[in-house]
Structure 1
Amino acid sequence: MALGLGIAFRERPTERAAVGVERGSVAERYAPALGRSSEVELEILSPDSAEDAIRRGEIAVLLTGRDVLTYRYDPARAESRSAQLVADRVVQRAAGATDRVPSVQDRDRRPGGRYIDWVLPGLIGMNLMSTGMWGMGFGLVQMRQKKQLKRMSSTPMRKRDFLLAQILARLSFIVLEVPPIVLFAWLAFGVKVQGSLAALALVITLGAMTFAGLGLLASTRARTIEGVSGVLNLVMLPMFVLSGVFFPASRYPDALQPVVQALPLTALNDALRAIYNDALPFSGYAGELAILAAWMAIGFLLSLRFFRWQ
């Protein structure tokens, strides 16, 4: 996913505005200035071809008009609105207009500003959720199917010790799950951790324990792989959609935000991005850590309550 998304949303040169000028119109006098602009990709069109080009979306804006310069474009298209502004700025300056307010354009790229910088923490969070819950759920059900849990019920082992051991055992897989993603993103796309590596490790560990606990809860009574698969999908699917893995969770309506922000994957993704991209101090993501800790405690305590050896 990191490779595919990194390539699909890679950094590209600034796209030029596709501007058409209708031959024989008053706009043709501004064609030389538009052609010299590095922001414009100019095309001179006959009246018939101009109509077809604007209808098919081959150009974003058409400059035409017999007596008055006319911009023809679809205001519902964002690229058309942008192209109209670019073309008008070139035309006005070609006619001698000057900026009334002096300004400077700051085009420096900020760390963490690319899509791959933003989405990578979400991929790490999604990976921790998926492997923690699926690995824990499948492992426990397989032990139940093979009668291993039934044998353990005759030993002095307590449920809490067994369940805690399962959660702690999952932590050993973090070394195999997270560092390869972080290293690959750094080597392939230059994605760097802007904050503390120790804080990142803490959040990842807490997130892994949280979802391992939820995986335990989902499998405390399940007897078959099909049964636990249904429960895990029911739990994880809302988080895949709502928790801001591939796009910001803030896009959802305000009425839904309390639910979205209370989800453990939302808290994990926000905390990871606070460290990965923003280098925030502990106070910047303490609320997210509290949500994760609460979900971890709920998952473990309810697992103790409902778990059965057989």
Structure 2
Amino acid sequence: MDQLSAMRVFVRVVETGNFTRAAATLNMPKTTVTNMVQSLEAHLNTTLLNRTTRRVMVTTDGALYYERAMQILSEIDELDGSMSNSQMQPKGRLRVEMSGAFADLVVIPALCDFYQRYPQIRLDIGVGDRLVDYIAENVDCALRAGTPQDQSLIARKVGEIPLSTYAAPFYIEKFGEPLHPKDLEEDHVSVGYLNAQSGRVLAMEFCQSDEVVEVTPRYAVSVNDARSYVNAAIAGMGIAQAPRFMTKDAVAKGELIEVLSRWSCTPLPLYIVYPQTRHLSNKVRVFVDWLVKLVQGLKAEDHPEPLRKAS
């Protein structure tokens, strides 16, 4: 048995959901695909797949084997690629983790451009701000806002995200506007953003000339998702300091109004992180370079004028 070929066949069966589709994509007879998976199971002395008349189900052992097989095959593809002509297009599976808001509003709308440039890269995007086991989950890299604290990761800064401070018209009508950042600790309520790594609500930082003010705002509700954070502010649950690319539609509709506009917000740094045990492969490198140009488009001057400005 050619175990490497059998691994590739098994992976394709899992990804397509049945033997017929796997055989078609591999350009193999269905019987060959079936026999190769059976030989792999016999070699491993375990059942990787449960077959029914309608579908194929992955067993617990099969799921574990799939993840490790994907990691091995990905490393082999990268090794082959590094030995190939440098002019060849990067190819293979690229697993990236990022926040849902950044994926939906920035990356996914521009993906056609990336695919036209690199049609042989298959991009798997995991959405969320959760902690990731890069090795066990076979994640190539993650896009993270804020300075990384995990010293086991290599981090490359790809840009900065402009921030502003907002409140809903309903909130302003009821509580008025803050005149100074320190008001957020005393007379106003904010929406808290809960950091997934520290489990703490993030502080807000304001700048004016040479003065820098950091406040720990009082909050009635905290969330750990950027979209929920902005929606809570729109609902009038408090003042929020949010990325301008996320709030431009709400500002244009009059759902949010910028407050404390005389104070600038420290931009949120954006990093690509990946484990030290993995070199920066060609496919990761071209994705990062493409992402840098994409982030450069998130300029503060792109923010639309609100329907009504706060005084």
| Structure number with higher helix proportion | 1
Question: TM-score band (shorter)?
Answer: under 0.3
TM-score (normalised: structure 1): 0.25
| Structure number with higher strand proportion | 2
